[in-house]
């Protein structure tokens, strides 16, 4: 506390255990660490298909439960599954899956916030997710399928400009 009664910010040096320990000799060099990490990611890939299938099935079930005029809880549930797909797609080599899921997240967030929508909008995205999860699309970047990406962007723009 300063003499005039004001509270002065205190600035002080900190060395956390994380910093102290991480600086020890004997660590894994960056390039080797990254290579080993990618190897760990590769080990998880056999289970990725099953996981995506479960998430897509859950998403489909939630979307199927939506009824015109019903509350928007379904959208809040659906966006959870869509976020999960978005957050790991690229890491697992499916950038297009991340792109489509990200687009669907935008749509669902807008719906949850009150935007008007058509179920066709959701169905288009779910179909695109089923397409993007196929092994043939592994490594495919969104700009390699411009018809798909521009179409989804137009759909998202329509939803975002449609107040509920």
CB nearer to other proteins: pick between 46 and 69: 46
Nearer to other proteins, 33 or 70 (CB): 33
Q: Which residues between 47 and 86 bind other proteins (CB under 8 A)?
A: 51, 80, 83-84, 86
Stretch that binds other proteins, among 24-32, 60-68, 119-127, 130-138 (CB under 8 A): 24-32
If one asks whether residue 154 binds other proteins (CB under 8 A), the answer comes out as no
Least distance (Å) between residue 67 CB and other proteins? 26
The closest of 157, 156, 104, 163 to 129, measured between CA atoms, is 104
Up-side HSE of residue 103: CA atoms within 13 Å toward CB? 27
Q: What crossing angle do the helices spanning 146-160 and 119-132 adopt, rounded to 10°?
A: 150
Q: How far apart are CA 58 and CA 35, in angstroms?
A: 34
Interface with other proteins (CB under 8 A), residue total 54
Angle at 87 (CA atoms; ends 157, 47), nearest 5 degrees? 130
Binding residue for other proteins, selected from 2, 3, 5, 18, defined by CB under 8 A: 18
| Contact call for residue 138 and other proteins (CB under 8 A) | no
Site residues, other proteins (CB under 8 A): 7, 9-19, 21-31, 33-41, 43-44, 51, 80, 83-84, 86-92, 95, 98-99, 102, 141-143, 149, 153
């Amino acid at each position: 506390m300063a003499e005039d009664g004001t509270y002065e910010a205190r600035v002080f040096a900190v060395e956390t255990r994380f910093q102290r320990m991480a600086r020890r000799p004997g660590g894994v060099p960056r390039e080797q660490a990254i290579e080993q990490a990618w190897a760990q990611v590769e080990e998880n890939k056999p289970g990725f298909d099953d996981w995506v299938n479960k998430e897509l099935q859950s998403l489909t079930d939630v979307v199927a439960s939506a009824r015109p005029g019903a509350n928007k809880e379904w959208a809040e549930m659906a966006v959870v599954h869509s976020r999960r797909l978005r957050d790991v797609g690229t890491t697992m080599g499916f950038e297009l899956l991340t792109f489509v899921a990200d687009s669907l997240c935008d749509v669902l967030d807008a719906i949850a916030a009150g935007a008007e929508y058509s179920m066709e909008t959701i169905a288009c995205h779910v179909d695109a997710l089923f397409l993007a999860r196929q092994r043939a699309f592994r490594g495919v970047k969104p700009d390699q399928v411009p018809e798909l990406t521009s179409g989804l962007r137009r759909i998202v723009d329509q939803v975002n400009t449609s107040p509920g």
